[in-house]
Structure 1
Amino acid sequence: MTKGTIDMADTSGTDLPDNWGRWGADDQLGTLNLITDEVRAKAAAEARTGQWVSLAQPITPDAMFFSPFLPEMAHTSPVQQMVSHTGGPVAADLSLIYNHHFKSTHLDALAHWSTDGQVYPGRPTEEVVTPLGITHASTAAFAAGIVTRGVLLDLAVEGPVPPAYSVTSHDFEQAEKRQGVEVGSGDALVVRLGWTGRGPEDIPTPGISIDAVRWMHRRGVAIIAPDRGDAHPP
């Protein structure tokens, strides 16, 4: 996916957020540890109507055997399918190939990214990412689901955020005041930038500045879910 523009001018300080080792050498949850039983109970108590809203981008499967990463297939679905007969008179079988890093709503495992040859919270990448699968910090760590309060901060009330715009802590705080909400520890921060779909490759997308990352760290955000780019436990 096209990554957002990051405000690199704000990286010179020594107070960059760092959660490696915060919850021990065997941790696989990262900031999801901030979602305590108390946080979940408070989140459940805020439910009023019971109405549910999907935040997932819609997917229409394509026929199989096309790679979504080929330039000429830029609009191919991340889900490819093939239907075959099972040999019975009426039954058919459905085969699916799903590449969730391509044009689809997804949540990465902490093992998805490595830094200086290490994967969170400090394990060698070659020991974690193996041909037989991920040995630590995979999505299995939160396979039972994530339940917490979600707070939507709408930054696109006047239209989509401009290309290459670096979202700052001021943007977040202005949205809080505008909406009468406050982001707290253990919350899932849902950010609307007004950007959906893949979009043209030659147009830089908005991104989250280091200043905004520090703000999320101070507030104790458990996970950020924007409508453009990847979502990660910070």
Structure 2
Amino acid sequence: MSVNFRDIGRELSNWGRWGPDDQLGTLNFVTGEHIRAAATEVRSGRVFQLSIPVGSSGPQSGIGGRLNPVHLMSMAPHDWSDPHGVQISDDWIIMPLQSGTQWDGLAHVAYDDRMYNGYSTDEVGARFGARKLAVDAMTDRLVGRGVLLDIARLKNVPWLEGGTAITPDDLDAAERAQGVTVAEGDFLLIRTGWRAKLLADGPAGWMKTEPGLDLACARWLHDRSVAALGSDNWAIEVLPSAQSGTVVPLHCVLIRDMGMPLAEILDLEALSAACAEDGRWSFLLAAPPLHISNAVGSPTTPIAIR
């Protein structure tokens, strides 16, 4: 018998925990002390890019109106006729905000007409965007100690197969194997190897299924007071879902009930290799969204510094 995600959501709810007007959710766990401590994770100064390229080669197939970004030149060097020889180029990008490496903000998922902290879904509209819980509330809050748990490496496979559920026991086992502990205020990144599959096999079918976290992991994340969660797949959780009643039950609990932002479609391949080489699985993470007013999600170009 499947567990009702609403029951778990009520149990793990953070509504009112940081006051009736809170719009940051679990990012409240990240304090100045946490950030100062995260800076001590930098030892070699190596920087790792964690985003996929923004362009037409992305994984989107048009489902739900999400297309790959379109890059256009609006001005090229030879468009100019300047007596001093000056030449200027300009360009545009046209894209869904959640088509590549991106943050799900706290207005992204709701159920029963309520969003995180009890805000009404009437606060999000086609004409004005998100009047509450918009992603721009987080622009200066997505920095701190990152921890990578490499589940694909734990299972000794290049990637987990689609539909493979990652359990709390898997998270515990990865901690033990890697000698790292996820602590309060950490940004937890999960490697499933799904990015490696995209690079190896291409985008065909990549977004029809995925390995990811089981709904039971919500309690594990709540108990650890994780600040935010990211993964190299496209929806964090295992799909298709084993839970009845919704296609994304973990999204519902994490975003709507707990107030946890989610980072999706990360590239964790180079970072995981470096972490495995020297046995250090924590780092300084900086992953701000674009400062877009009233948006429910945003592209991001995260970097990990070790």
Structure with the higher fraction of residues in helix conformation: 2
How do 1:4-19 and structure 2 match up within 5 A?
Answer: 9-11=2-4, 14-15=7-8, 16-19=11-14
Answer whether contact 2:30 2:141 (CA < 8 A) is retained: no
Does the residue aligned with 1:182 lie in a helix, a strand or coil? coil
User: Residue 151 of structure 1 is aligned with which of 144, 147, 151?
Assistant: 147
Cα shift at 1:114: 1.4
Answer whether contact 2:27 2:228 (CA < 8 A) is retained: yes
Answer whether contact 2:29 2:227 (CA < 8 A) is retained: yes
Answer whether contact 1:108 1:230 (CA < 8 A) is retained: no
How do 1:8-157 and structure 2 match up within 5 A?
Answer: 9-11=2-4, 14-15=7-8, 16-61=11-56, 69=62, 78-85=68-75, 88-89=80-81, 90-102=87-99, 104-157=100-153
User: CA–CA distance in 2 between the matches of 1:175 and 1:121?
Assistant: 32
User: CA–CA distance in 2 between the matches of 1:46 and 1:123?
Assistant: 37
TM-superposition CA deviations, 1:205-226 (whole Å, max 9, x none): 1121122111010011111111
Structure 2 residue 213 is the aligned partner of structure 1 residue 208: yes
User: CA–CA distance in 2 between the matches of 1:70 and 1:115?
Assistant: 21
The answer for the alignment partner of 1:219 in structure 2 is: 224
Does the residue aligned with 1:151 lie in a helix, a strand or coil? strand
When residues 58 and 212 of structure 1 are mapped into structure 2, their CA distance, relative to the original with a 3 A threshold, is same
| TM-score normalized by the length of structure 2 | 0.64
Cα shift at 1:195: 0.3
User: CA–CA distance in 1 between the matches of 2:172 and 2:206?
Assistant: 31
TM-superposition CA deviations, 1:36-90 (whole Å, max 9, x none): 122112211222112111111123358xxxx95179x99x6x2212223497424
2:74 maps to a residue whose letter is S
Cα shift at 1:137: 1.0
When residues 91 and 79 of structure 1 are mapped into structure 2, their CA distance, relative to the original with a 3 A threshold, is same
When residues 199 and 39 of structure 1 are mapped into structure 2, their CA distance, relative to the original with a 3 A threshold, is farther
When residues 81 and 13 of structure 1 are mapped into structure 2, their CA distance, relative to the original with a 3 A threshold, is closer
Answer whether contact 2:107 2:134 (CA < 8 A) is retained: yes
Structure 2 residue 166 is the aligned partner of structure 1 residue 161: no
TM-superposition CA deviations, 1:135-169 (whole Å, max 9, x none): 11111111125111000000001111122111111
Percent sequence identity is 33
The answer for the alignment partner of 1:194 in structure 2 is: 193
TM-superposition CA deviations, 1:164-206 (whole Å, max 9, x none): 1111110001000100000000000010001024551685211
When residues 124 and 58 of structure 1 are mapped into structure 2, their CA distance, relative to the original with a 3 A threshold, is same
Structure 2 residue runs without a partner (length 5+): 82-86, 237-254, 262-306
Aligned residue pairs total 219
User: CA–CA distance in 2 between the matches of 1:92 and 1:48?
Assistant: 39
When residues 91 and 51 of structure 1 are mapped into structure 2, their CA distance, relative to the original with a 3 A threshold, is closer
Cα shift at 1:228: 0.5
Answer whether contact 1:190 1:225 (CA < 8 A) is retained: yes
2:2 maps to a residue whose letter is A
1:228 maps to a residue whose letter is N
Moved more, 133-142 or 15-24: 15-24
1:98 maps to a residue whose letter is M
Structure 1 residue runs without a partner (length 5+): 1-7
Cα shift at 1:91: 3.7
When residues 146 and 118 of structure 1 are mapped into structure 2, their CA distance, relative to the original with a 3 A threshold, is same
| TM-score normalized by the length of structure 1 | 0.82
The RMSD of aligned alpha carbons is 2.9
The answer for the alignment partner of 2:302 in structure 1 is: none
